[in-house]
Amino acid sequence: MLQIILTKISAYCGKPKRFWIPLLCGFAYSLCLPPFSGLLHPVFALMPLLSSVVLIPLFFFATRAPRRRAFVYSYIYCAAMILGQKYWIGFVTQEGLWIYILIGVVLISLVWGALYFTAALAFRYCAQKIPRMYIAVYPAIWVLIDFSRTLTDLAFPWSYIGYSATGILPLAQFSSFTGVWGLSYLIVLGNIAIWELLRAHKGGDREIVRQKWPTFGIWIALIVGISVWGLFRMNREPPNADTSKIALMQSYMDQFNWGKGSLDTAVTVSDSMIRVIENDNLDLIVFPESALLCYLDRHPEIRAHVFEWADRAGAPIMVGASHWERSANVPPGSPMRDEAGRRTFDVYNTVFLTENGQLTPYHKIMLVPFSEIMPFEAQFPIFSRVNLGNAGFTRGAFEAVFRINNNLELAPYICYEMIFPDFVRRRLRESTNLLVNVTNDGWFGRTSGPYQHAVMSQMRSIENGISMARAANSGISMYVDPHGRILTKTGLYTREIAVKDIPVYRIMTFYTRFGDWFVFFCAILTAFGILAGVIQKKRMGEITNPLLVDEQKQKLTPAGVCQSERV
């Protein structure tokens, strides 16, 4: 019965002009990622399990005949896969640029789709050239393609398939050893194991089916073994662990309607929220990114309000704002622009900490391409003159760590910085005991964007064995413990205060010590696989790989007629 079903599905999906099938399958890829997880609602708690089968349609399309149709269907799947994850970028309605943003969404889908189309080509190549070892090599290739998205000024490493495991926390503990890369490897490995089993059942040869079951069983044993280890890890709490009482201030200022009086409104709202918690004996108060959308340290009146709030609450305050400084080698008193119209000052996206009557800044280092900075403007200065709204920020130069009393040593990160695994890891010393992420996800609207961003931040806690306090302007604000458990979270587009005693102990992980070692391992494995494919000799006329039997048969049919298309 299973053989008949699989044969009919294969025949139906493999016919020409069925472009809607890879399109729907590509969109379905997003069902295993946030918001379809327990983070949105418990009813979605099992949706991350879909990650173990979402790539099977891509494998099917990549190995079909004729070759041209295989390539077209695979590319459609990959472009739809990216669009389904990143459609929310179209909700960033920068005034006057909306049509360009929509065009940008399409271009991102096409370009990143082309990147993952190379993954489809790699699958076809590996299945044909190294059929006995591709099950181990291909997941490594996928990891390398994921990793490539962290490189260059166009870096946008958003929403890898490994993040789906965050919905299964015992399994997600594996990232403390390999980073998110190891989870991606495991999930792609599972897709291939299931694909091999289904393909064997479709062939109907019981001996081949029997040979495929051990591979699937090994993968299941890996998943179960890692999850059991993860459960033990999550239950090993240190005795008498230190805690700190922190307040997250989700002030929810609507940046879409920010106007002349909005700064006064932000100060009034923030002041009223401080009044609620000023007697709570706090260790730290955290406002989100852009909570005070002004040049805070250049605005004496607003700065005085912030110090007053800190005095009233008896706790230091972290608050997101902007900052500017004169550019290097520009003398004091120079105009804001030179004779050529170029800026003579640097603008930073900043989070400030009130400390001993001063504001200590951390300037954002990883800036969003096009939104905060023009890519490659350091190599091509003419790009700095292109105006795309807010793309005029300067990168920070120092990876700050803030020390508060004798209890807290925290590493601040602003928004997009939390999606870079190694960037977060390399700042963390053994004494650092808290991640603080301030962000403004209000640009995303009520889409999957805020959920995806929150889950990626959650993964950083697991990878590095450290608690996180995350303050978002419009949500999701949350506390996460060193094992990734969400202790408290807020809703979207609400004004809330979250006060919590959170653990500030540190678990030094293998990933924190050795970084992206697993990516290097995948590079070696890929190189070995390519070498094996190059030196492997095929006997003339022999069909060495059942995956491509249909294509081999097509070459043998007269007049170039595809056997599978004959009536």
* pLDDT tens-place string over residues 460-497: 999 999 999 999 999 899 999 999 999 999 999 999 99
Give the single-character DSSP code of 559: G
For residues 389 and 527, membership in a common domain is answered with no
Residues 6+ apart with CB under 8 A from 1: none
pLDDT tens, residue by residue, 425-460: 999 988 899 999 999 998 888 899 999 999 999 999
Answer yes or no: are the C-beta atoms of 484 and 457 closer than 8 Å.
no
Q: How confident is residue 507, by pLDDT bands cut at 50, 70 and 90? A: very high
Residues 205 and 334 in one domain: no
Q: How high is the pLDDT of residue 381?
A: 64
Domain with residue 417: its CATH number is 3.60.110.10
Instruction: Check residue 567 and give its pLDDT.
Output: 28
Q: Report the 10 Å Cβ neighbour count for 45.
A: 15
Q: Of 5-14, 137-146, 165-174, 474-483, which range is least confident?
A: 5-14
Q: Is residue 43 part of a domain?
A: yes
The Cα–Cα gap between 64 and 414 comes to 45
- Same domain, yes or no, for 292 and 393? yes
Smallest Cα–Cα separation from 37: which of 27, 50, 51, 47? 47
527 and 458 share a domain? Answer: no
- 396 by DSSP, 3-state: which? coil
Q: Do 306 and 188 share a domain, yes or no? A: no
Residue 361 parent element (H or E): strand 358-363
Beta bridge partners of 358: 355
Name the percent of the chain lying above pLDDT 90. 64
Predicted pLDDT of residue 5: 87
Q: Are residues 186 and 315 in the same domain?
A: no
- Compute the mean pLDDT over every residue in the chain, rounded to the nearest whole number: 87
Name the domain count of the chain.
2
Q: Indicate if 391 and 354 belong to the same structural domain.
A: yes
Return the ∠ at Cα 470 (arms to 228 and 251), rounded to 5°.
Answer: 145
Domain span at 179: 19-235+515-565
Contact 271, 265 (CB under 8 A): no
- Asked if residue 3 is part of any domain, the answer here is no
Q: For residues 277 and 158, state if they share a domain.
A: no
Clarify whether residues 99 and 247 are in a common domain. Answer: no
Q: Establish if 2 belongs to a structural domain.
A: no
| Bridging pattern class, strands 243-250 and 284-286 | parallel
pLDDT at position 94 is 58
Instruction: Give the pLDDT mean for 320-343.
Output: 68
Torsion of CA 552, 557, 560, 566, to 10 degrees: -100
Outline where 46-174 has alpha helix (H): 56-62, 67-86, 98-129, 134-148, 169-172
For residues 226 and 557, what is the distance between their CA atoms, to the nearest angstrom? 48
* Full strand arrangement of the beta sheet holding 486-489: 402-404, 408-414, 434-439, 467-472, 478-480, 486-489
Residue 175: the pLDDT is 98
User: Is residue 9 one of the residues assigned to a domain?
Assistant: no
Pairing assessment for the beta strands 345-355 and 358-363 based on DSSP bridges: antiparallel
Please determine, for residue 254, whether its predicted confidence score (pLDDT) is greater than 80.
Answer: no
In this structure, the strands spanning 478-480 and 486-489 are antiparallel
Characterize the bridge pairing of strands 408-414 and 434-439.
Answer: parallel
Residue 462 backbone dihedrals phi, psi, to 5 degrees: -65, -45
C-alpha–C-alpha distance, residues 456 and 161, integer Å:
11
Task: Give the pLDDT confidence score for residue 423 in this predicted structure.
Answer: 96
Distance CA(358)–CA(170), nearest Å, equals 43
Residues 284 and 419 in one domain: yes
Q: Using CA of residue 404, residue 408, residue 412, residue 415, what is the dihedral sign?
A: negative
Q: Which amino acid is at 303?
A: R
Same domain, 492 and 360: yes
Half-sphere exposure of residue 438: CA atoms within 13 angstroms, side-chain side: 30
Reported confidence tier of residue 559, pLDDT bands at 50, 70, 90? very low
Q: Rounded CA gap, 218 and 214, in Å?
A: 6
Q: Is the domain of 38 the same as that of 170?
A: yes
- In this structure, is residue 287 part of a structural domain? yes
- Is the overall model pTM greater than 0.85, yes or no? yes
Relative to beta strand 402-404, strand 408-414 is antiparallel
Give the count of alpha carbons within 13 A of 469, CB side only: 31
Query: Across residues 371-396, what is the average pLDDT?
Result: 71
Q: What would the pLDDT profile of 223-250 be if each residue is shown by its tens digit?
A: 999 999 999 999 988 877 889 999 999 9
- Residue-wise pLDDT tens digits, 1-41: 788 888 888 888 878 888 999 999 999 999 999 999 888 88
The 10 Å Cβ neighbour count of residue 207 is 7
With bands split at pLDDT 50, 70 and 90, how would you rate the model's confidence at 564?
very low
Distance CA 453, CA 493 (A): 15
